[in-house]
Amino acid sequence: MIEPGTARTLSRLLASEQSARRVPSVTAAIVRSGAVVWSGAAGTLDGRAGGEPATTDTQYRIGSITKTFVAVEIMRLRDEGRLSLGDTIGVHLPAVPFGHVTVAQLMTHTSGLQAETDGQWWERTPGVSWSALLASTPALRLTPGTRFHYSNVGFAVLGELVARLRGVPWHEAVRTGLIEPLGMSRTTSRPVGLAAPGLAVHPFADLVHVEPEHDAGAMAPAGQLWSTSHDLATWAAFLAGATHGVLAPSTLTEMLRPVAINDVPGNAWGGAHALGWQMWNVAGARFAGHGGSMPGFLAGLRVNLSSGDGAVVMANATSGIGPLEANLLDVFSKAEPVVPKPWTADASQAVDLDLVGDWFWGTYRFTVAAGRDHELRLGTPGEGRGAVFRRDGDGWIGVGGYYSGEPLEAERDAKGLPLRLVLASFVFTRTPYETDADIPGGLHPDSWH
Q: What is the pLDDT of residues 156-212, one digit of tens each?
A: 999 999 999 999 999 999 999 999 999 999 999 999 999 999 999 999 999 999 999
Taking residues 324-336, report their average pLDDT: 96
- In this predicted structure, what is the pLDDT of residue 168? 98
Distance CA 216, CA 197 (A): 16
- In this predicted structure, what is the pLDDT of residue 121? 86
Taking residues 35-47, report their average pLDDT: 97
- In this predicted structure, what is the pLDDT of residue 318? 94
Asked if residue 231 has pLDDT above 80, the reply is: yes
Extract the runs of DSSP E, i.e. beta strands, from 184-227.
199-201, 208-210, 226-227
pLDDT tier for residue 112 given thresholds of 50, 70 and 90: very high
Asked if residue 269 has pLDDT above 80, the reply is: no
Asked if residue 120 has pLDDT above 80, the reply is: yes
Helix (H) or strand (E) segment spanning residue 35? strand 35-43
**Which residues, in sequence order, are CB contacts of 147 under 8 Å at separation 6+?**
110, 112, 260, 263
Round the average pLDDT of the chain to a whole number and report it.
Answer: 93
Taking residues 81-101, report their average pLDDT: 97
DSSP-assigned letters across all residues of 356-388: -EEEEETTEEEEEEEETTTEEEES-TTSTT-EE
CB-based contact 278:260 (threshold 8 Å): no
Range with the lowest mean pLDDT among 28-32, 187-191, 266-270, 434-438? 266-270
Which one of 3.30.56.10, 3.40.710.10, 3.40.50.261, 3.30.1440.10 gives the CATH number of domain 1-342?
3.40.710.10
- In this predicted structure, what is the pLDDT of residue 395? 86
Taking residues 338-352, report their average pLDDT: 85
At 153 the three-state DSSP class reads helix
> How many CA atoms within 13 Å lie on the side-chain side of 346?
12
User: Residue 336 is which amino acid?
Assistant: E
CB-based contact 26:43 (threshold 8 Å): yes
pLDDT tier for residue 371 given thresholds of 50, 70 and 90: confident
Buried/exposed code over 276-310 (b: 16+ C-beta within 10 A; e: otherwise): bbbbbeeeeeebbbbbbbbbbbbbbbbbbbebbbb
Please provide residue 187's backbone torsions phi and psi, each rounded to the nearest 5 degrees.
Answer: -110, 115
Please provide residue 147's backbone torsions phi and psi, each rounded to the nearest 5 degrees.
Answer: -165, 165
Helix (H) or strand (E) segment spanning residue 326? helix 324-335
Q: Above pLDDT 90, what percent of the chain?
A: 79
Please provide residue 376's backbone torsions phi and psi, each rounded to the nearest 5 degrees.
Answer: -120, 135
Taking residues 292-297, report their average pLDDT: 96
CB-based contact 66:156 (threshold 8 Å): no
Buried/exposed code over 411-438 (b: 16+ C-beta within 10 A; e: otherwise): eeeeeeebbbbbbeeebbbbeebbeebe
Asked if residue 234 has pLDDT above 90, the reply is: yes
Please provide residue 418's backbone torsions phi and psi, each rounded to the nearest 5 degrees.
Answer: -65, 125
At 268 the three-state DSSP class reads coil
Helix (H) or strand (E) segment spanning residue 254? helix 249-255
pLDDT tier for residue 352 given thresholds of 50, 70 and 90: confident
Asked if residue 131 has pLDDT above 80, the reply is: yes
User: Residue 130 is which amino acid?
Assistant: W
- In this predicted structure, what is the pLDDT of residue 260? 93
Q: What are the CA-CA distances from residue 70 to residues 77, 154, 178, 221 (Å)?
A: 11, 11, 10, 7
Distance CA 221, CA 107 (A): 12
Distance CA 149, CA 393 (A): 40
pLDDT: is 353 or 160 the higher one?
160
Kindly report, as residue ranges, where domains of CATH 3.40.710.10 are found in the chain.
1-342
pLDDT tier for residue 91 given thresholds of 50, 70 and 90: very high
pLDDT tier for residue 108 given thresholds of 50, 70 and 90: very high
pLDDT tier for residue 310 given thresholds of 50, 70 and 90: very high
Dihedral class, residue 273 (left if φ above 0, else alpha if ψ from -120 to 50, else beta):
beta
At 330 the three-state DSSP class reads helix
- In this predicted structure, what is the pLDDT of residue 336? 95
Asked if residue 350 has pLDDT above 90, the reply is: no
CB-based contact 420:411 (threshold 8 Å): yes
**The model's pTM:** 0.92
pLDDT tens column, 423-441 = 988 999 999 999 888 888 8
At 405 the three-state DSSP class reads coil
At 30 the three-state DSSP class reads strand
pLDDT tier for residue 249 given thresholds of 50, 70 and 90: very high
* Helices assigned H by DSSP within 167-227: 170-174
- In this predicted structure, what is the pLDDT of residue 312? 98
